[in-house]
Chains A and B, each alone.
Chain A
Amino acid sequence: MDFAPSFALVAPELLLIGAGLALLLVAAWAGDKAARGIAIAAAAALFGAGIMLVPGLHFGTDGPATLAFGGLFKVDAFAMFAKALIYLAAIGALMVAPSFFTSAAAGSERVMRAEYPVLVLFAAVGMSIMVSANDFMTLYLGLELNSLSAYVLAAILRRDVRSGEAGLKYFVLGALASGILLYGISLLYGFTGGTGFAAVRAGLTGEMGTGALFGVIFVLSGLAFKISAVPFHMWTPDVYEGAPTPVTAFFATAPKVAAVALTARVTFEVFGAQVAAWQQIVMFTAFASIIFGALGAIGQENLKRLLAYSSINNIGFILLGLAVANQDGASAMLVYLFIYVAMSLGSFVALLMLRDEDGALFETFADIRGLSVTRPAIAWALLLFMFSLAGIPPLLGFYSKFVVFQATVEAGLIAFGAIAIAASVIGAFYYIKFVKVMFFDEPAGVVTGKSPAGHWALLGLTALIISPLGYLLTPSLTDLADKAAASLFLAV
């Protein structure tokens, strides 16, 4: 077997693995002093890996030439689109980390651990493998590599009780989800006789038995856990609240992209012949996520918990695109993912910039009262993000809802779309509460400290993307998403 073409296909992952291993050695010898340098090197590696994706994204690569390692791994345009987003989000998570870990916000340690960037790198590799998986074994490998890195990341502030709790909760519930997923995979293997996506698909064509249906449901449940869709969402608020904020920003973006892309691939490529079996499940999950994500957020005082519910709510809209079960829906989902990553990353960066003189973070509504007077720039940026998350035009968040609902209606699911969009109004309530607290309430009188230039750059960039100017991006974004979605359906 000639491995050269396969290695050429996985070049971005190889680069990341190589960089990860090398930086791990640096971390071991140079210690935490080198953490900032390692973070920069890791970001550069991610950027380099991202550059390698550009040609494939542009030409919309698909077909048999994208298969590596005897069909275990698939590097089509869809995978590349997801990888590009994952790498960008990971770079964002690296950029905001150093100033957080070296400030009072990180508790008593006040030092950035050198493992942090390495773990982010390995998590990115894991996610890369997830979205490129073409076999349930590859899928599981990628998922676990990502998850194990993520558990450690959540608990990286070792002396912080909340961080430890978040890590433990994430680990226990994540292990449960992996178990459910594995059980589903084993059922599918038992009833179809293969673990490769093509083999399972072939086995599921035609009449489907109850055992295989259970397999489908277990696999989907395991994946729903990873994307934190209702009813498997309960870990999200706790983990988001407890994990250090840069890690939360990471969790809210890159792993979401990877898990959603993986779910899309599994549902379309593997269960594509049994749409009737999973469409209702996905519709229910989508609708329940929108409702619970909105209702759960209403009573929250902690901003990170609120954003956790907001991510559940957004996952609901992303799943709408999946529930449509056609190429337009998949394309809409990818557009939504891109815009969602920009909005979430921006919101978390803004949260990271809200600190007092010592650098401790503000985390509740009471802390950000009257922010528009004390820190107008951050308040206006947050205003943009909140209205964008609520889907109010002319911000780009509207466009993401626009494409998803357009796909829903064009596929004939009109009543479903109408109910879902009406439910989105509930979500608007807490987003505008955010604005109300910042703009309408009297200032809390807390002096806020300075933020590093990297934060400002990231905040400015994400704000620019979701501002009305972002609409100028939509033709090229739609083009890329269409190519990516087409590659997903070509395989069928």
Chain B
Amino acid sequence: MEGLPILSLMMLVPLAGAAACLFAGANAARWIALGATLVTFVLGIALWSNYQIGGPQWQFTEKAALFAGFSWALGIDGIALMLTMLSVFLMPICILASWQSVQKRVGEYMAAFLFMEVLMIGTFAAQDLFLFYVFFEAGLIPMYLIIGVWGGDNRIYASYKFFLYTLLGSVLMLIAMFWMVAEAGTSDIPTLMQYGFPAGAQTWLWLAFFASFAVKVPMWPMHTWLPDAHVQAPTAGSVILAGVLLKLGGYGFIRFSLPMFPEASAQFAWLVFILSMIAVVYTSLVALVQSDMKKLIAYSSVAHMAIVTVGLFAFNVQGLEGAMIVMLSHGLVSGALFLCVGVIYDRLHTREIARYGGLAINMPYYALFFLLFTMASIGLPGTSGFVGEFLSLAGIYQTSSLVALISTTGIILGAAYMLYLYRRVAFGGQTNEDAAAMPDISAREWVMMAPIAAVVLWMGVYPESFLAPMRADIAVLDARLAAAAPASDAQLAPGAPRAAAANALPHHETGEHASGSHDSAKEGAH
């Protein structure tokens, strides 16, 4: 692959597809979009198979000084590779999910999705700070249109809210970027990741970036756009939002906030922890009482992304690896759950949980997939969710047992709301006749669900395939963070051996000696 600009090519294919879709008829547009996304996916596989694990940190680099002020610089490391793979994997599935449910202005719809894919790949591959911003921010346009044109009843409100929230978060980041580039004299991301910004300035820069990424992730209390946007977006829009766009926030933290401002990250870790703990408990409880399926899954996304942020700010390898796996896993699982909702929404045109029930009887295969993804969302061992959440929580446990304790309640609450959802939808009696008459999943829906199910199990059983490309990059990041890492509250220290056996009888002891042995006993107990 030497010399072939594969990253540019991966962006060019969907871009050309988008242009073609704009002018094509409905059916042609569907096939063009599917073809373009599949070609991109194949290119993605080529990218992964040619990625040298243990090779240089940045691979497939391209650089061309096309613009004034910034350059067209692309390149990926293992972290970006995995997230790019997630994007290109989900895209053909999104196109398939919209095959029949979107009937109005199909060409424009497909063009918007393909354009979205270009921007997602660009965001993960950008090696220039401003180029990153361009891709990061440009996603607003297609997503605004997708929600606004093809969304549900309250789509206008949702699209405005999505657009303005995200924009306000991002513009402050742009100001911070200007300052950084003026200070460091380069907009090259790998260089900036090693640059030591003054600690005082880091505080402000971190806050500016946080404003953007916290909205994107989203963290409590900036999450309110997400339930609206998810619920109103068409199925495929929700899949992309939950699957990839939320990951942009996490990616931002791991690519910018942590390596560029390690001191400030340590300084503000408590803020992230508090917000994440509130998010885990609060949004899980909110999810429990939802009567709208999409809203429930949307709130569960906020809770899961809080596990990501907790893991990221644990400042250790397990936490970072865990956060990455949760991101990948959540991208697949929540995407799949939205697809599950979409499947029955297409049949009955309602998201009300109460309108369904007993689907396991008339739609057994559907119920099977839904069960698998429900379990993966809960974090059942053997599914991808378990690996990510276990690593994340193991990571945070080393830093703060309290945060670990509260974050872990998210797993229990997650089990509660997901199982409760599943019981109401798939089990029980068939109370609604029209729901009972729905046919099981079609071949197209099999093709959508089966690959995700396979990857979820793959990631759950053998996560090494996904961890291996990222290991070196996470080690580099961990080394960068080591100096700034906040002290652990566990204070693990090997205890001194007792002077005497535990059951030794106190024969001729002075008071002083007794207190000494008391201390060592205490340490040993730790």
Q: Separation in Å of the B295 CB from the closest CB of chain A?
A: 21
Q: Please, which residue of chain B has its CB at the minimum distance from the CB of A432?
A: B163
**Most chain A beta carbons < 10 A, residue from B134, B144, B171:** B171
Q: In the complex, are the beta carbons of A409 and B182 less than 8 A apart?
A: yes
Known contacts A392-B141, A409-B179, A440-B156; A422/B149 CB under 8 A: no
Q: Do the beta carbons of A429 and B137 come within 8 Å of each other?
A: no
A26 to B74, alpha carbons, bound, how many Å? 60
Q: Given known contacts A392-B138, A425-B164, A432-B144, is B68 in contact with A405 (CB within 8 Å)? A: no
Q: Which residue of A lies closest to B107 (CB)?
A: A376
B53 at interface, CB cutoff 8 A? no
* B174 within 8 A of partner (CB): yes
User: B69 to chain A: which residues have CB within 8 Å?
Assistant: 399, 402-403, 406, 474, 478
Given contacts A387-B141, A394-B138, is CB(A474)–CB(B172) below 8 Å?
A: no
Docked pose: A114 CA to B67 CA in angstroms: 44
In whole angstroms, how far apart are the Cα atoms of A410 and B144 in the complex?
A: 32
Closest to A402 in B: B69
Q: Distance (Å) between the CB of A373 and the closest chain B CB?
A: 8
A429 and chain B: residue at smallest CB distance? B164
Interface residues of A: mostly helix, strand, loop or mixed? helix
Q: How large is the interface on B (under 10, 10 to 19, 20 to 34, 35 or more residues)?
A: 35 or more
Interface assignment of A436: CB less than 8 Å from any CB of chain B: yes
- Determine if B175 and A414 form an interchain contact, defined as CB atoms under 8 angstroms apart: yes
B441 at the interface (CB under 8 A from A): no
Interface residues of B in 262-314 (CB under 8 A from A): none
**B168 at interface, CB cutoff 8 A:** yes
B130 CB–A CB distance under 8 Å? yes
A173 at interface by CB-CB < 8 Å: no
Q: B175 near A418 (CB under 8 angstroms)?
A: yes
Does A393 lie within 8 Å of B137, measured CB to CB?
yes
Q: How far is the CB of B116 from chain A (nearest CB, A)?
A: 13
Is residue B58 contacting chain A, with contact meaning CB distance below 8 A?
no
Residues of chain A within 8 A of B168, CB atoms compared: 422, 425
Query: Which residues B94-142 have CB closer than 8 A to chain A?
Result: 105, 108, 130, 133-135, 137-138, 140-141
Query: B438 on the interface (CB 8 Å rule)?
Result: no
A418–B171 CA distance with the chains assembled, in angstroms: 8
A471 within 8 A of B: yes
The reply to whether B134 and A394 contact each other, CB–CB distance below 8 Å, is yes
**What A residues does B138 contact at CB under 8 A?**
392-394
Indicate if the CB atoms of B134 and A439 lie closer than 8 Å: no
Question: Quick check: is A398 within 8 A (CB to CB) of the other chain?
Answer: yes
A435 within 8 A of B: yes
> Closest residue of chain A to B122, judged by CB?
A394
Q: Does A8 lie at the interface of the complex (its beta carbon under 8 Å from any beta carbon of B)?
A: no
Contact A475 B137 (CB under 8 A): no
Which residues of B (157-171) have their CB < 8 Å from a CB of A?
A: 159-160, 163-164, 167-168, 171
Task: Give the Cβ gap from A57 to chain B, nearest Cβ, in Å.
Answer: 17
Using an 8 Å CB-CB cutoff, how does the interface string of B177-208 with A read, 1 for contact, 0 for none? 01101100000000000000000000000001
How far, in Å, is B187 (CB) from chain A's closest CB?
A: 11
User: Are B178 and A406 neighbours in the complex by a CB distance under 8 Å?
Assistant: yes
B134 near A425: Cβ-Cβ < 8 Å: no
Q: Is B12 an interface residue (CB 8 A)?
A: no
Cβ contact within 8 Å between B171 and A424: yes
Q: Is the CB of B68 within 8 A of A478?
A: yes
Q: What chain B residues lie within 8 Å of A436 (beta carbons)? A: 148, 156, 159-160
Knowing A414-B179, A421-B175, say if A477 contacts B68 (CB, 8 Å): yes
The answer on a CB contact under 8 Å between A418 and B172 is yes
Scan residues 153-167 of chain A and give those whose CB is less than 8 A from a CB of chain B.
none
Residues of A within 8 A of B159 (CB): 436, 440
- A403–B179 Cα distance when bound, in Å, is 13
* Any A CB within 8 A of the CB of B145: yes
Tell me the complex Cα distance, A392–B140, Å.
8
> B148 near A439 (CB under 8 angstroms)?
yes
CB neighbours (8 Å) of A428 from chain B are 163-164, 167
A-B contacts, 24 listed (Cβ < 8 Å): A372-B105, A372-B108, A392-B137, A392-B141, A393-B135, A393-B137, A406-B181, A409-B178, A409-B179, A418-B175, A418-B208, A421-B172, A425-B168, A428-B163, A432-B163, A435-B145, A436-B159, A439-B145, A440-B155, A474-B67, A475-B66, A475-B68, A478-B69, A479-B68
5 additional A-B residue pairs with CB within 8 Å, beyond A410-B182, A429-B160, A435-B144: A398-B134, A409-B179, A418-B172, A428-B164, A440-B159
A: residues with CB less than 8 A from B are 372-373, 387, 392-394, 398-399, 402-403, 405-406, 408-410, 414, 417-418, 421-422, 424-425, 428-429, 432, 435-436, 439-440, 471-472, 474-475, 477-479
4 smallest CB-CB distances across A and B, nearest first, come from: A409-B178, A478-B68, A393-B134, A474-B68
